[in-house]
Structure 1
Amino acid sequence: MFRPHPLLGLAAAALVATTVATAAPGLARTPAPQPEYTITVDPAAAGTPISDSLYGVFFEDINFAADGGLYAELVRNRSFEFGPADNRSYSPLTGWTPTADAGGVGVASTADDAARLHERNRTYLRLDLDNPGGGRYGVTNAGFTTGIALRAGGAYDFSVWARTDAAAGTPLTVTLHDAAGQPLAAPLTRAVRGDRWTRYTGTLKATRSTDAGRLSVRAGGTGVLRLDMVSLFPHDTFRERPNGLRRDLAEKIAALRPGFVRFPGGCLVNTGSMSGYDAASNWPRARSYQWKDTVGPVETRATNANFWGYNQSYGLGYYEYFQFAEDIGAMPLPVVPALVTGCGQNQATADEALLQRHIADTLDLIEFANGPASSTWGRLRASMGHPRPFGLTHLAVGNEENLPDAYFANFQRFRAAIEAAHPGITVIGNSGPDDAGATFDRLWQLNRDAGVDMVDEHYYNSPAWFLQNTTRYDSYDRAGPKVFLGEYASQGNKLANSLAEASYLTGLERNADVVRMASYAPLLANVDNVQWRPDLIWFDNDESWGSTSYQVQKLFMNNVGDRTVPSRVTGPSTAPTPITGGIGLSTWATSATYDDVRVTTPDGTVLFADDFSAGADAWTPLANRGSWSVVDGAYTQSDTGAQDTLVRAADVTASDYDLTLRARKNAGAEGFLVAFGVKDSGNFYWWNLGGWNNTQGAVEKATNGAKETLLAKPNRITTGTTYDVRVQVRGTRVTLFLDGQEWASFTDDRVTRTFTQVVTRDDATGELIVKVVNAQDRPAVTRVDLGGLRVRDRARMTVISGDPGEQNTRSAEPIQPATRTVGGIAGTFTRTFAPNSVTFLRIRTK
């Protein structure tokens, strides 16, 4: 009988068993299952070269990704620059608590006056001390989340800038301790002397591990002691660089082997004030991200209000970004503001001098990255420790601008200046915040007509969208601008999301001649401070873990290959179905009134009608939000603060029907929403009129709670005006009418592909890499035809699989890749791919 090789598991044994030509005498042979899918490879056809930078990472300071995250500083608000401009709850002493021991007396306050450390580091801590006979007074910092994480035996580098008016000097004691005051390291003592700012340093060695440590800085004596830039770094940073990166997070990013690092954002790049320096203080508290604020000695760098609602210190600045990209072998890809805001703000600068300054700053940035050490900005780079140029080749201007013509006019100004001074730099434009719509179409037209080299696309959609759009780039113009997919993710952090993304990546690789770069976003999230989900890598103050998408991205990024090998797949797919289900009414931060709701067939048969004269008993809330009631014979949602309300009625089973109603906005920030094809609270379509702060209309489709935008265009709803709304459904075709005029139409007839594949070749090893995604709940028996290639009979197989509802968390990471050697590989072979799996087969050719 057949005996499995001892190095193979049962599944591998079963695979080999299916390749045995004859059964043992006297034993009945179980018929092999017939292949449902066939993958056919054409090794003789010319494949598409794949860029070394196809997959990269995108870093934005969101979810506390920098301070309290990748940037290894352990002290929160080290420079006392927090304030209401960052967050209404902040003050310069946020993160700090006055403290004393041995009867110490004093007063802790902050000041912004001529005694400051630097004009861009304006606020400092003032301690008025009154301890002539002993005792110490000062402040305590508890770090960014639950406390300061320390590892037993670890060295922690302390530094502080200080000055004192005490003639005899001021004794300073630095301690690490727990919340109860018990020591975690031997104390560090320094004597502060002189009334000029001086940096004092020392190292503390942790005696035990904790994730809830505290740092206290206390002083004895009398007089005024001024402190600034109170800092504590683990000595064990990534590559042990001073002012460095948290090792575990940096190593997880490095393990992806990214081809590029896009930085520093995101929405924080082009949002915030677009004004110049404040005339009174010569330093504004909130403005767009500007690279010159982030370089030079850390004590001279600014802090700034972060778009995501907190303070960013700029300790992790442009020099550190360039250094990190170099350390992990990735191409640096900075993004500079175009002076046209995106991310819902929609404002373009009218200040010509400010625009010119930003263009000049961008040219200076290129010099900082690439200039010789004898140049102005190259000299600064050299003084920071890197005399050699960083080798910048690509630079993006702008991020998700919603004013396409205003943005592109500014973009062209940047582009012309950059190409004139640095013709070797690829200047990247963008296509706005969505995968489709009026802004997307207009920006692509402008980029195409101007011969822009590369266009940055961004989209966050449902897993279903990714499964239905694996062929998105098949129809892109091969002679047009190349695509940089700078931000994408499916909405969720479960294995089902990762499988949908994996399917989509097979399409990116098949279209590597068009899609030159792609990066999942966002990269990092502090589990205790989250502004956006999903995210690739999660962490707290002492642990980190990769999401299921991290594991899938890592598998693709570590097994790219040098070129595609043309291949095709045949087999079943999920066909589209007519749009049926309930109808719904909704509001978002708005009060609205609805009346005369009717659903009719094309021949006039009434399927549902409600004029609310008898109340609203036909309607069921699907979201416990808002205040719905019948007022003056119409149905009104009156709470202008309620978001994402939804009530449902009827159950339309007909494939062809018309939904008509009258709607009026009463008050609030947006317009109103009309839903159709409603299955439940997570599965529906809705026509959003006056959305996005009453600037845009759109049709969104929700699938299992995740939304995707099917179409979008500028739109505004007038308060107090009654609108006639009509939704015409014909199978999968929907036409929308507003006040009798056709507003837009769409067809939702995309095929869902739950089985996808791509084949690439690794030139260095001579291996074919067969990549298969089976994003369905059943196994996929598949015939693989390698087109006559002679191959080794064993291959290295890596599989990621599991429950599609599973996710990796702080407490458990069940979704991990499993790698082993399998046999039974031949020019043609049959393989059963597990349900809900991503499988990579590295097959050596003879």
Structure 2
Amino acid sequence: MHGERKANVYCSIIFSNHGLIRLNRFVARNNPKYGFTRFKLFASRGLRVREAKESEILRSKVLSLTPDFVLVVVRFSCSMKCLREHLYPAFLLLFLVHCEDWLLDEMPKRTSLSCFPSFVLGALRGLGRAKGMDFKYAFFSTMFSMLLFCFSGTRLSAELELAQTALVEVDVSWELSRKIPDTLFGLFFEEINHAGAGGIWAELVGNRGFEAGGPHTPSDIDPWSIIGDDSSIYITTDRSSCFSQNSVALRMEILCDNCPAGGVGIYNPGFWGMNIEEGKAYNLVMYVRSLESVDLTASLTCSDGLQNLASVSIQGIDLSNWTKIEMQLLAQGTCRASRLELTSMKRGVIWFDQVSLMPSDTYKGHGFRKELTYMLLELRPQFLRFPGGCFVEGDWLRNAFRWRETIGPWEQRPGHFGDVWNYWTDDGLGYYEFLQLAEDLGASPIWVFNAGISHHDEVDTTVIEPFVKDVLDSLEFARGSEESTWGSVRATMGHPERFPVKYVAIGNEDCGKEFYRGNYLKFYEAIREAYPDIQMISNCDGSSRPLDHPADLYDFHVYTSAANLFLMKNKFDRTSRIGPKVFVSEYAVNEPKDTGKGSLLASLAEAAFLTGLEKNSDVVQMASYAPLFVNDNDRTWNPDAIVFNSWQQYGTPSYWMQTYFRESSGSVIHPITINSSYSDALAASAITWQDAEDIFLRVKIVNFGPNAVNLTISSKGLQAGVNTAKSTVTTLTSGNLLDENSFTEPNKVVPVTNMLPDASEEMQALLAPYSFTSFDLALDQYSKLVAEM
């Protein structure tokens, strides 16, 4: 009698990672009952290879659907008797026991089911209802459902059969490795999208000096509004301020003798609502004048004006001359969309100017919004390029950034209209504050100054000298001694120590303008003579051909599609190593179809590009993403790294991508090769870095393709063993290429880190499709390589 015919069977089961671990234990306990001689599953939150082995099993894979759920696909070759008596009962029972609870309740919330036909989903829900019946009945009632599910899994199984393979070889030998510049990755801050005003600068009052409507009065006072009506209050502006540089003040005339309860007055909602939190203190400063005695109340209320969160009265003070009033309001409640009210019930005229409300708790007391500053600190930036960008140039020179007008007491700063991004800034976040922010972040300041050029007008080189003198004064303000003219101003502002400005950019995106080269040379020569150590950055791209003027670095800006940026991972492979270094001061994927408001797809292309910058860091000295911030209420530019409103914030996938590179600056880069027919979809780099206790070999790999990759990582030349107890793997991926984070799902696309217990000099792993993975192998002892570099 011939042997019984063998059958090839595919079985597909969805598990939560927790359920997969429970499955391991279940199979171990029931091994004899179900005839399994060896069946072991390894799970690590959807980030590593999971393998199943049994004498009857030909092939098995685990596909990560999301960081929380996996699809186990097993191919059996067995007799019908084995199938009938052992395998079907085993898997059906396991499915019922371990999957039904979360399948009905959690799965629709956590992952996309678009890959499964609707009739399969209905069958699965029927499967869940079988729980609680006796096993015999459950088996027959669910057999049809299971077969349908297996059918849907066959296509996915076939895809897994096509998983690519790749060998990544890292050479950690001393001879072929080199140190990455300490400055490689940092930040670019531009006043765009209300990044500063209404953003990281914690001032809560918009248009605090009433200057936003222009110098001609009466003027628009937006966002200020009145409380009351035309019969009870009259509001206008005049030029009676005590500050000569910002002379506009607000005149409020109370017309009612019997004013309504609560009084009449004005209110300011800040930047789309003030976030006032119970128990926190807020510092109110304002300048007030009145020819009569006043009965004035300053309050913080919810946006409807009904919930009073804090209030203080001002009475019995002589205000016949402009008087600075300072007080603290302690919030008795929380409202995410609050406003500041200034009201009175007494007939008369009151003038206001320079009304400021700041949280008392800012980062180091320097005026920066804490939670946004913490997000910057997480990136460990090595430099801060500021304040732009086009913000530096202006659409017209009259609206360019003028550093002198942004220093000194905040009340005396005139503010200016940013005509490129179309909003007013009071310049509370000025030149001094940018230098302070760089210091607080532990980053080198890179001062981008105006080169006498805007988008629409330019200063002829023959008359550029006043601009050159202005820049030299700005450097003296930062670097001069306390005895110098401008250094003494800095000291008066509270910073006697010098700011270490070692880099300046001469203009922004001005290359090719009529007077740029001539103006550039004037600035270059003057700064080189006064400050020989300062590194100067040209706006002209020298990556393809030599510059026609001297420079220490040159700007390279790239905004493009995801596909193009991925291909640009080799952009600087053939760039000349002679001459100025590269500063990739602005990069991002900004093709709308690729990004939305910040997608996984964009971050993967950017990650690949950065691995190329690491490998070319002998010529690329600095790189920064752009833009950094966006207030969700003013999306002038998409995408951005950090999104916020008055009380929330989250990082886009592009923000989280940058966290993979925060240890790169100053680390050691190693040669790396990828051997695979699929290598066109892969990008990789390898570094050695260290923290206070350990040293790590980090291998970063971008899989920019739709296929999973069975990966072998081979590390040659290691001078130490691998400590598996401290080795980790971190993956950035999601269920859909265009997945984004949001206020409702801030962690939808974020890196997930797990231990790497099988880390070794030669190890296997599975790269998920469209993913960015970092393998950190902890080394047992300090490396001679890093020590000597």
The normalised TM-score by structure 1 is 0.70
Change (3 A) 1:769 1:479: same
Deviates more, 1:462-471 or 1:185-194: 185-194
Give the structure 1 partner of residue 639 of structure 2. 534
For residues 324 and 12 of structure 1, what CA distance do their matches in structure 2 show?
A: 37
Tell me how large the CA RMSD over aligned residues is: 2.7
For residues 573 and 424 of structure 2, what CA distance do their matches in structure 1 show?
A: 43
For residues 56 and 610 of structure 2, what CA distance do their matches in structure 1 show?
A: 45
Classify the secondary structure of the residue corresponding to 2:520.
helix
Q: 2:282 aligns with which of 140, 144, 156?
A: 156
- Listed one character per residue, the Cα deviations across residues 299-351 of structure 1 (whole Å, up to 9, x for unaligned) are 00021111211111101111111111111111111100011224xx3x32137
Contact 2:511 2:517 in 1 (8 A): no
Structure 1 residue 404: Cα displacement? 4.5
Structure 1 residue 222: Cα displacement? 4.6
For residues 418 and 194 of structure 1, what CA distance do their matches in structure 2 show?
A: 49
Pair 1:175 & 2:313 matched: no
Aligned length: 625
Contact 1:778 1:835 in 2 (8 A): yes
Pair 1:798 & 2:730 matched: yes
Change (3 A) 1:757 1:561: farther
For residues 13 and 534 of structure 1, what CA distance do their matches in structure 2 show?
A: 30
Pair 1:364 & 2:473 matched: yes
Give the structure 2 partner of residue 208 of structure 1. 333
Give the structure 1 partner of residue 385 of structure 2. 262
- Listed one character per residue, the Cα deviations across residues 609-650 of structure 1 (whole Å, up to 9, x for unaligned) are xxxxxxxxxxxxxxxxxxxxxxxxxxxxxxxxxxxxxxxxxx
The correspondence of residues 109-148 of structure 1 with structure 2, limited to 5 A, is: 109-112=236-239, 115-130=240-255, 136-145=263-272, 147-148=273-274
Contact 1:775 1:837 in 2 (8 A): yes
Letter in structure 2 aligned against 1:841: F
Change (3 A) 1:2 1:761: farther
Query: Based on CA coordinates, which of the two structures has the bigger radius of gyration?
Result: 2
Classify the secondary structure of the residue corresponding to 1:786.
strand
Which runs of 5 or more residues in structure 1 are unaligned? 275-285, 432-439, 575-752
For residues 10 and 258 of structure 1, what CA distance do their matches in structure 2 show?
A: 30
For residues 303 and 47 of structure 2, what CA distance do their matches in structure 1 show?
A: 54
Change (3 A) 1:444 1:198: farther
Give the structure 2 partner of residue 819 of structure 1. 753
Letter in structure 2 aligned against 1:809: S
- Listed one character per residue, the Cα deviations across residues 718-745 of structure 1 (whole Å, up to 9, x for unaligned) are xxxxxxxxxxxxxxxxxxxxxxxxxxxx
Q: 2:166 aligns with which of 37, 44, 60?
A: 37
- Listed one character per residue, the Cα deviations across residues 778-828 of structure 1 (whole Å, up to 9, x for unaligned) are 111122121143531522111111121201112113011111111222222
Letter in structure 1 aligned against 2:227: T
Contact 1:494 1:807 in 2 (8 A): yes
Contact 1:340 1:403 in 2 (8 A): no
Aligned-pair identity in percent equals: 31
Pair 1:828 & 2:756 matched: no
Give the structure 1 partner of residue 191 of structure 2. 61
For residues 12 and 534 of structure 1, what CA distance do their matches in structure 2 show?
A: 27
For residues 659 and 710 of structure 2, what CA distance do their matches in structure 1 show?
A: 26
Q: 1:240 aligns with which of 361, 365, 378?
A: 365
For residues 265 and 184 of structure 1, what CA distance do their matches in structure 2 show?
A: 39
Give the structure 1 partner of residue 44 of structure 2. 9
- Listed one character per residue, the Cα deviations across residues 415-445 of structure 1 (whole Å, up to 9, x for unaligned) are 11011011111111112xxxxxxxx57x975
Pair 1:190 & 2:314 matched: yes
Q: Which structure has more strand as a fraction of its residues?
A: 1
Classify the secondary structure of the residue corresponding to 2:499.
coil
Give the structure 2 partner of residue 462 of structure 1. 561
For residues 175 and 28 of structure 1, what CA distance do their matches in structure 2 show?
A: 73
Letter in structure 1 aligned against 2:721: V
Give the structure 2 partner of residue 774 of structure 1. 703
Change (3 A) 1:105 1:774: same
Letter in structure 2 aligned against 1:138: G
Pair 1:498 & 2:603 matched: yes
Letter in structure 1 aligned against 2:722: R
For residues 778 and 236 of structure 1, what CA distance do their matches in structure 2 show?
A: 49
- Listed one character per residue, the Cα deviations across residues 41-85 of structure 1 (whole Å, up to 9, x for unaligned) are 122233232122211111111111111111111111111111269
Pair 1:108 & 2:214 matched: no
Letter in structure 2 aligned against 1:143: G
Pair 1:452 & 2:579 matched: no
Change (3 A) 1:788 1:351: closer
The normalised TM-score by structure 2 is 0.75
Contact 1:35 1:783 in 2 (8 A): no
- Listed one character per residue, the Cα deviations across residues 176-214 of structure 1 (whole Å, up to 9, x for unaligned) are 112332233232112342332221011112222212212
Contact 1:92 1:123 in 2 (8 A): no
Give the structure 2 partner of residue 547 of structure 1. 652
Pair 1:572 & 2:677 matched: yes
- Listed one character per residue, the Cα deviations across residues 261-286 of structure 1 (whole Å, up to 9, x for unaligned) are 11101101112433xxxxxxxxxxx4
For residues 423 and 565 of structure 1, what CA distance do their matches in structure 2 show?
A: 33
Pair 1:762 & 2:694 matched: no
For residues 301 and 3 of structure 1, what CA distance do their matches in structure 2 show?
A: 73
Contact 1:12 1:822 in 2 (8 A): no
The correspondence of residues 383-422 of structure 1 with structure 2, limited to 5 A, is: 383-404=492-513, 406-422=515-531
Which runs of 5 or more residues in structure 2 are unaligned? 1-36, 62-160, 781-789
Classify the secondary structure of the residue corresponding to 2:310.
coil
Letter in structure 2 aligned against 1:364: D
For residues 544 and 228 of structure 1, what CA distance do their matches in structure 2 show?
A: 31
Structure 1 residue 844: Cα displacement? 2.4
Classify the secondary structure of the residue corresponding to 1:469.
helix
Give the structure 2 partner of residue 742 of structure 1. none
Structure 1 residue 840: Cα displacement? 1.0
Contact 2:164 2:707 in 1 (8 A): no
Structure 1 residue 560: Cα displacement? 4.9
Structure 1 residue 5: Cα displacement? 11
Pair 1:82 & 2:212 matched: yes
- Listed one character per residue, the Cα deviations across residues 149-174 of structure 1 (whole Å, up to 9, x for unaligned) are 211222111110112222xx323210
Contact 2:461 2:515 in 1 (8 A): no
Contact 1:455 1:481 in 2 (8 A): yes
Q: Which structure has more helix as a fraction of its residues?
A: 2
Q: 2:403 aligns with which of 273, 277, 291?
A: 291
